[in-house]
């Protein structure tokens, strides 16, 4: 069985490759070169990551190749991200990268090269259900590291040919295994957030690519100008930090924080309020667009929770199914009902930024999700 | 670093931690010792202490060499990035090498127009160990200068050389080499890192890289790196003691490697320092060999360390006409004072073994 494993140089994909070798697969390590441009004040670590990945591949005695997806990454991920920010949204490029690059281009190229499977170091699992033909994406055993939030949009075809070797493991055990196997990157600092933005931070990255203009910060209730911002796209609704609000302390700033409640992009005005209970911040309903249901729209809501893999429940369409929802990576699961378009919560929740994803679960099963309007 | 170098430096971190520019007597003593150390370094290349500008390493010295010019720079295409990139910043043009890595003097002659003001050619290439015929280049420059005088062209024509690789193996004399600017590097001769010097002939005018207290002839402001220069001077002294002995030893070791290693193509055949052995294992990936050899405590390189860490292919190997496949299979083996003959035999044996295993993995 031939497997192409995506190796980033990190501990998770390194251990994944090691496990596949141990399990007797014919393994080839692939470094996906998606981004190599240095940014001001930050050297892109791609060459070091590549060397780390290659070193592990060599020590495992497996072939190793670099597959260059830079052009596609720029077109499908970076440009999407910039477009979304310009439209006032807060996109998630990692979700797009999995959908368009890792589980599409990488998958397709691996298949062309005669692979039976691809593998990645994601914390996720696959399974099957008797009532649906499609493969099932399952939450990782390590609830703290579960990455299905980033994977909910990958195609079923790719998922059917994917192995997640560490999906059953806990992160500390992955690290321990890396040490035992003498993999040098056992202690490598974990990359956080969007890989290529790295330590620079999204704001500095956006400044490089989008021509932003400073504008006013106004209090929503009074229209009074409280200060000025560097560019409305940097702010998300509900955000509390980073407001350069000046003025008469006694009158305006009584020590209570302000929250972003509205953005007027054409006029480049950011509206804030001291009212933490402002309706823009809290909601009991979230409308989704580009909804992607992993098992089709009929079966998606049919499984009454808690569900266990392999059980044989009758597939019948249940509208407003009771499911659970994750609104950010590693955020707690919140119970909700879903009618195929809108999520309904029992209690008010803090509204996530538009452009982020809501990912739906039935027990361990990732049902899919959509992008918040 | 040589332990004797560290010992020489130690007092200047602790007891003699005075700023040489301070007014009180203990500081003046440190200033004098700093000048003496500079003198030791300068004498090693036939110069005076006042001809040297101490820098934080060879890269800075190379950069300083180009500061005064914005046009008319020629540099050898196989130069280290600190010369190439700095020269490019000042509008430099590359001069070709022959397939043996030695400067193509005909190409040089055609590129020396009346605009040319500075030619930069390293004494020893950092990847191949190729020794460049600096005296010959200086001869070409002399002819051009005479011709310019005859025709009333007033422009200067200077010769800069990065001698980082060679201070402990070649007898370097600025007058004999005919250079106006010469870069020296402490770390390459077992001195402290981030210490270097630029020899600046008295009639050459440079622009400062840093402004401030006017140290180093006003070209390199900033409090003097006293322990660094003391250590550099000590390393120079030690290097001079072993000059000939080391070269003989390295010639023998190179012979041992070339006879005991198997199935390689030798890349640097002639005109090189013997402590550079560049080999190509055709069809193999040299990077894989590095990772396999490091487990056996044999540490080798591909191109320049700094280029390799950025994922770049060696511009030097490309310049001497190697194919991409040859470049991918090329390994650079160097050795130095920390090694002994036993280790050379051992390294050859381990490299052969690793190469054989790698070929077996590939089914060859």
**Which DSSP string corresponds to A297-308?**
HHHTTT-PSS--
- Distance from the Cα of A52 to chain B's closest Cα (Å) equals 10
The residues with which A370 forms a beta bridge, in sequence order, are A358
| Pairing, β B196-200 against β B52-55 | antiparallel
Residue A332: how many other CB atoms lie within 10 Å? 10
Which residues of A sit within 8 Å Cβ distance of B? 36, 46-48, 50-51, 54-55, 58-59, 61, 64
Residues of B assigned a catalytic role: 306
Residues ≥6 apart with Cβ < 8 Å to A330: A144, A146, A149
The three state secondary structure string of A72-110 is HHHHHHHHHHHHHHHCCCCCCHHHHHHHHHHHHHHHHHH
Q: What is the mean pLDDT of residues B259-288?
A: 94
Mutate to test the interface with B, among A38, A52, A58, A60 (most CBs of B within 10 A): A58
Contact assignment for B311 to A47 by CB distance below 8 Å: yes
> Greatest CA separation found in chain B?
73
Give residue A188's Cα distance to chain centre: 21
Mutate to test the interface with A, among B291, B294, B303, B324 (most CBs of A within 10 A): B291
Helix, strand, coil: what percent of chain A each, to 5?
A: 30, 25, 45
Asked if B58 and B162 count as a contact pair (C-beta separation under 8 A), the reply is yes
CATH code for B243-361? 3.90.1150.10
Rounded distance between C-alpha atoms, residue B301 and residue A51, angstroms? 13
Q: What is the pLDDT of residues A301-348, one digit of tens each?
A: 544 444 444 433 433 334 456 799 999 998 999 999 998 899 999 999
Structural domain boundaries in chain A = 2-121+165-203, 212-273, 282-372
Nearest to A47 among B288, B292, B310 (CB): B310
Q: Which residue has the tokens 């209970």?
A: A277
Q: Which residue has the tokens 């993999």?
A: A183
Contact assignment for B291 to A54 by CB distance below 8 Å: yes
Asked if B301 and B290 count as a contact pair (C-beta separation under 8 A), the reply is yes
Asked if A94 and A153 count as a contact pair (C-beta separation under 8 A), the reply is no
CATH superfamily for A212-273 is Adenine nucleotide alpha hydrolases-like domains (2.30.30.280)
Provide the CATH topology of domain B3-238. 3.40.640
Q: What is the pLDDT of residues A165-194, one digit of tens each?
A: 999 999 999 999 999 998 877 667 666 545
Asked if B188 and B305 count as a contact pair (C-beta separation under 8 A), the reply is no
To the query of whether residue A97 is one of the catalytic residues in this protein, the response is yes
Contact assignment for A58 to B288 by CB distance below 8 Å: yes
Contact assignment for B291 to A59 by CB distance below 8 Å: yes
Rounded distance between C-alpha atoms, residue B12 and residue B22, angstroms? 15
Nearest to A50 among B291, B295, B311 (CB): B311
Provide the CATH topology of domain A2-121+165-203. Rossmann fold (3.40.50)
| CB hemisphere CA count around A235 (13 angstroms) | 32
- Distance from the Cα of B291 to chain A's closest Cα (Å) equals 6
Structural domain boundaries in chain B = 3-238, 243-361
CATH code for A282-372? 2.40.30.10
| Pairing, β A269-273 against β A259-264 | antiparallel
Q: Which residue has the tokens 């422009």?
A: B155
Each residue's pLDDT, cut to its tens digit, for chain A (373 residues) gives 999 999 999 999 999 999 999 999 999 999 999 888 777 777 777 888 898 999 999 999 999 999 999 999 999 999 999 999 999 999 999 999 999 999 999 999 999 999 999 999 999 999 988 878 889 999 999 999 999 999 999 999 999 999 999 999 999 999 999 999 988 776 676 665 455 665 557 788 888 888 888 999 999 999 999 888 888 888 888 887 655 565 544 445 566 788 899 999 999 999 999 888 888 889 999 999 999 999 876 554 544 444 444 433 433 334 456 799 999 998 999 999 998 899 999 999 999 999 999 999 999 999 999 999 9
**Which of A255, A275, A289 has its CA nearest to residue A358?**
A289
Contact assignment for B288 to A64 by CB distance below 8 Å: yes
The residues with which A42 forms a beta bridge, in sequence order, are A39
Q: What is the pLDDT of residues B313-337, one digit of tens each?
A: 889 999 999 999 999 999 999 999 8
Indicate if ipTM > 0.85.
no
pTM for the predicted model, two decimal places: 0.85
Which residues of B sit within 8 Å Cβ distance of A? 287-288, 291-292, 295, 309-311, 361
- With 0-12 CB in 10 A as exposed, 13-18 as middle and 19+ as buried, what is A305? middle
Mutate to test the interface with A, among B283, B300, B310, B359 (most CBs of A within 10 A): B310
């Amino acid at each position: 069985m031939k497997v192409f494993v995506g190796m980033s140089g990190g501990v998770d994909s390194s251990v994944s490759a090691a496990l596949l070798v141990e399990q007797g697969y014919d393994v080839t390590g692939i470094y996906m070169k998606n981004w190599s441009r240095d940014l001001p004040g930050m050297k892109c670590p791609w060459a070091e990551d590549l060397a780390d990945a290659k070193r592990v591949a060599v020590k495992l005695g497996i072939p190793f190749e670099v597959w260059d997806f830079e052009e596609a990454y720029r077109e499908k991920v970076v440009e999407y991200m910039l477009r979304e920010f310009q439209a006032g949204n807060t996109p998630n490029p990692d979700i797009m990268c999995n959908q368009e690059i890792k589980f599409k281009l990488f998958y397709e190229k691996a298949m062309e090269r005669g692979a039976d499977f691809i593998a990645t170091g994601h914390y996720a699992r696959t399974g099957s259900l008797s009532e649906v033909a499609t493969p099932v994406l399952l939450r990782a055993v390590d609830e703290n590291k579960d990455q299905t939030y980033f994977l909910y949009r990958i195609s079923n075809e790719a998922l059917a040919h994917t192995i997640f070797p560490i999906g059953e493991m806990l992160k500390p055990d992955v690290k321990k295994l890396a040490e035992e196997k003498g993999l040098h990157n056992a202690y490598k600092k974990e990359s956080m957030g969007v890989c290529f933005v790295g330590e620079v931070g999204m704001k500095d990255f956006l400044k490089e690519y989008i021509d932003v203009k400073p504008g006013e910060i106004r209090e929503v209730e009074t229209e009074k100008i409280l200060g000025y911002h560097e560019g409305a796209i940097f702010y998300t609704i509900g955000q509390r930090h980073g407001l350069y609000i000046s003025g008469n302390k006694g009158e305006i700033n009584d020590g209570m924080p302000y929250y972003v409640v509205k953005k007027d992009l054409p006029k480049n005005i950011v509206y804030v309020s001291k009212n933490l209970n402002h309706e823009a911040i809290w909601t009991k309903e979230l409308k989704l667009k580009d909804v992607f249901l992993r098992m089709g729209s009929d079966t998606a809501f049919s499984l009454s929770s808690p569900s266990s893999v392999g059980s044989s429940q009758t597939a019948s369409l249940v509208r407003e199914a009771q499911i659970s929802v994750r609104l950010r990576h590693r955020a707690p699961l919140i119970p909700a009902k879903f009618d195929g378009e809108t999520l309904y919560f029992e209690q008010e929740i803090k509204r996530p930024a538009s452009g982020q994803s809501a990912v739906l679960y039935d027990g361990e099963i990732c049902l899919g999700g959509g992008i918040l309007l | 670093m040589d332990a004797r170098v560290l010992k020489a430096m130690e007092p200047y971190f602790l007891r003699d931690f005075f700023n040489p520019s301070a007014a009180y007597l203990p500081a003046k003593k440190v200033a004098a010792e700093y000048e003496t150390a500079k003198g030791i370094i300068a004498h090693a290349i036939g110069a005076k202490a006042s001809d040297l500008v101490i820098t934080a390493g060879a890269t800075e010295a190379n950069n300083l060499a180009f500061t005064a010019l914005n046009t008319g720079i020629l540099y050898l295409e196989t130069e280290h990035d600190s010369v190439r990139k700095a020269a490019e910043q000042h509008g430099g043009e590359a001069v070709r090498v022959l397939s043996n890595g030695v400067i193509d003097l005909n190409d040089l002659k055609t590129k020396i127009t009346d605009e040319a003001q500075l030619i930069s050619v390293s004494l020893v290439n950092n990847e191949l160990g190729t020794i460049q015929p600096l005296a010959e280049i200086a001869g070409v420059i002399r002819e051009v200068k005479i011709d310019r005088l005859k025709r009333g062209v007033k422009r200067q024509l200077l010769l800069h050389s990065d001698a980082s690789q060679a201070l402990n193996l070649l007898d370097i004399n600025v007058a004999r080499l005919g250079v106006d600017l010469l870069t020296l590097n402490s770390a390459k001769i077992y001195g402290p890192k981030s210490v270097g010097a630029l020899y600046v002939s008295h009639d050459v005018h440079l622009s400062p890289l840093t402004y401030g207290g006017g140290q180093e002839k006003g070209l390199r402001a900033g409090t003097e790196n006293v322990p660094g220069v003391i250590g550099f001077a000590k390393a120079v002294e030690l290097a001079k003691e072993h000059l000939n002995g080391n070269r003989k030893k390295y010639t023998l070791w190179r012979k041992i490697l070339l006879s005991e290693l198997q199935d390689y193509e030798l890349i640097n055949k002639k005109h090189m320092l013997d402590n550079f052995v560049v080999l190509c294992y055709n069809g193999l990936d040299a990077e894989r060999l590095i990772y396999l050899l490091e487990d056996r405590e044999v540490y080798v390189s591909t191109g320049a360390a700094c280029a390799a860490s950025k994922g770049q292919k060696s511009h030097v190997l490309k310049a001497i006409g190697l194919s991409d496949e040859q470049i991918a299979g090329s390994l650079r083996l160097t050795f130095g004072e920390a090694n002994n003959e036993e280790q050379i035999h051992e390294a050859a044996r381990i490299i052969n073994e690793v190469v054989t295993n790698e070929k077996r993995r590939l089914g060859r």
